[in-house]
Chains A and B, each alone.
Chain A
């Protein structure tokens, strides 16, 4: 994109205008009840909360792509890793699971890791014709030992109270602690992946990360001892009060009545507002840090590397090391968003990690918002999330309007039935239009 990055200066008003449009959309969603808006503050705030989390994901992708030009197509994998953290950190331990096989699983994982390290060392240190054979021997022996340790332990854990648990549970620590832990999980994975994949060129890197993302999601779906797989983990603790507790609290009911709201609606709104405050605070801190970093010498160096790798290398910058650094930081931000998402849902559903939704939609957010610009990515994320949710309502409405002249019958029913899928077409069209007419996004890089 070097030909378009440093293009003519754009209007400084674009970000504020987009912000005002977003605020107007959310206000309309909360206050008007008609064919387009629900008129429910609960709905508006629910969209906003997930929008804020999407904004953090977009911020992470923007760090990798916007600052450094790395095409990470495995966003869903880092998100999934981060979303595992609340389960492992804040759920209480499952009775009997740890004694059934906990230490043995840990030992097996250590053996697996040790095998990989040993194989890498053998490959690096040895020369001559036996090199490949020696590495293969290490891998095969290591794999057999690993499976010998791992399989019985997993069976024992999964057999333990299989209907209600079957997983290892967590440490029972406060859930807010799991957010940085989620970031750490993703960062650790990014370190390993970056070591392997960052030497690859653009498309090869994209597809390698796409594949790694799929591998991580496959592990989450199938390792029931860890994530319960398709059985989902529910009941993850909350950092905010429960609606039911609020509704039975006389002080809260009285205050709700003062505002002229019934306790059920008021408790929903209050909980969502608390979440929005938490997420908004995290988002603001991240943006502040990202902006400061981008304005520092480090940020200038990153953009110099992005715009001309060869020149930066000639100036003595270690390009691969910088790429690894930004890959880890961006992935950590995505992992943080994953942990926040599980906390918001109170549920870990490994089956829901779908690349269309959690990789490509995030990419649409960054590209539409304006890659390289933190505010652009964040505003783009909230806008796209709003449209993604509302397209499910607007699609059928539009279809009803379009099919008005058609006679009642099979074709009309078919079109009306398929209308919810319009959101894909709408988002695709939006992406193509932005790429064509505003290739640097709605809020371009300055």
Chain B
């Protein structure tokens, strides 16, 4: 029985949280990687796009709740998500029009675009704070648990319990759907092929009659949709705090780079690699070792939880040492 207990504990404390977190990172990293692949710069405003989008989703959610519309047992935010995506996309397309297009036309160095994205980051950060404030907001309504610890114990008679929150299950399902749709879009549809062609060789794509502005618009919309989805799922899973999304930008960049910038498959792999390492390195393994018959003295925790974000960068640096453009051989300008 103890091996079963150990497996349940690993599932409960490592696999499920890391999978949900990894899915959120993967969605974010997909957006970063798409923008890098098409527009050829690292978008520092991506984290604040997530924050602004999530703030808008929360506002729409409140509006829906006030009208008495809900989606129980699922969170109402799911209904608000498409509206949030549409609003944020409009804003992001506006920034492209006002800010980035000028440098694209001038063929400025990528670093200028990065700087401009820092400017956009400041503005979006301020707007988010202005719109929704800096307080912590919980907006998950509906059922809390798909499987709760007590139920699981009652069903199985194991000492160790397993819990699966609705937000975690939802994260995994939505991410799987989004990835499936995105990869299908990129490999099958005309526009997706145009995007890939543009990303591989800009000049050749222009020669073959691909409209670059259309490709760029599509990229922004898709990246924004992924970002707002990731942000909303993260907010449902933990809670919404304007500043948290700058923090999560760092592991998202790490994920995108570990996979190789510009490679969508790499972004997904990178997201899960980063998340699983973060959780595994900061989880105290004592309980599981005890189930398996070892009686350790310490907590068997490699690093304290505060070093979570540092772990993603250690992975990043180790990967870059051996593969300077990431595991899936990404682009470099």
- Where the two chains meet, the residues of A that have a C-beta atom closer than 8 Å to any C-beta of B are 1-3, 69, 71, 151, 196-197, 199-204, 206-208, 210-212, 214-215, 218-219, 221-222, 355-356, 360, 363-364, 367, 415, 417-419, 421-429, 431-432, 435-436, 439
Q: Could you list 29 A-B pairs, sorted by A, with CB under 8 Å?
A: A69-B111, A71-B111, A71-B114, A202-B110, A203-B36, A203-B41, A203-B110, A203-B114, A203-B333, A204-B320, A206-B114, A208-B320, A212-B313, A212-B317, A218-B309, A219-B310, A222-B304, A222-B307, A356-B125, A360-B121, A419-B130, A421-B129, A424-B125, A424-B126, A426-B126, A428-B124, A431-B119, A431-B122, A435-B115
Quick one: given A204-B332, A418-B130, are A356 and B246 in contact (CB under 8 Å)?
Answer: yes
Among B23-56, those with CB < 8 Å from A are 36, 41-42, 44
Bound CA span A199–B324, Å: 8
B250 near A428: Cβ-Cβ < 8 Å = no
A203 near B123: Cβ-Cβ < 8 Å = no
| Contact string against A for B residues 82-97, beta-carbon threshold 8 Å, 1 for contact and 0 otherwise | 0000000000000000
Bound CA span A417–B250, Å: 29
A367 near B133: Cβ-Cβ < 8 Å = no
CB-CB < 8 A to A207: which residues of B?
42, 253-254, 257, 316
Tell me if B269 is interfacial: C-beta within 8 Å of chain A: no
CB-CB < 8 A to B304: which residues of A?
222
A431 near B115: Cβ-Cβ < 8 Å = yes
Tell me if B279 is interfacial: C-beta within 8 Å of chain A: no
A196 near B310: Cβ-Cβ < 8 Å = no
CB-CB < 8 A to B44: which residues of A?
360
Quick one: given A203-B261, A203-B333, are A425 and B123 in contact (CB under 8 Å)?
Answer: yes
CB-CB < 8 A to A210: which residues of B?
250, 253
CB-CB < 8 A to A360: which residues of B?
44, 118, 121-122
Q: Can you name 18 extra interface pairs (CB under 8 A) apart from A71-B111, A207-B316, A436-B99? A: A196-B321, A200-B324, A202-B110, A202-B111, A204-B320, A206-B114, A210-B250, A212-B317, A215-B313, A356-B125, A356-B246, A421-B126, A424-B125, A425-B123, A425-B127, A427-B122, A432-B119, A432-B120
| Beta-carbon nearest neighbor of B128 in chain A | A421
Chain A binding surface SS class: helix
B333 near A202: Cβ-Cβ < 8 Å = yes
Bound CA span A415–B310, Å: 37
B306 near A221: Cβ-Cβ < 8 Å = yes
- Closest A-B pairs by Cβ, 9 of them: A428-B122, A211-B313, A424-B126, A428-B123, A425-B126, A421-B129, A431-B119, A432-B119, A418-B130
CB-CB < 8 A to B320: which residues of A?
197, 200, 204, 208
A424 near B123: Cβ-Cβ < 8 Å = yes
Bound CA span A355–B310, Å: 14
A203 to chain B, nearest CB (A): 5
A218 near B257: Cβ-Cβ < 8 Å = no
| Beta-carbon nearest neighbor of A433 in chain B | B119
Bound CA span A250–B240, Å: 56
Bound CA span A204–B114, Å: 12
Quick one: given A202-B110, A211-B316, are A428 and B324 in contact (CB under 8 Å)?
Answer: no
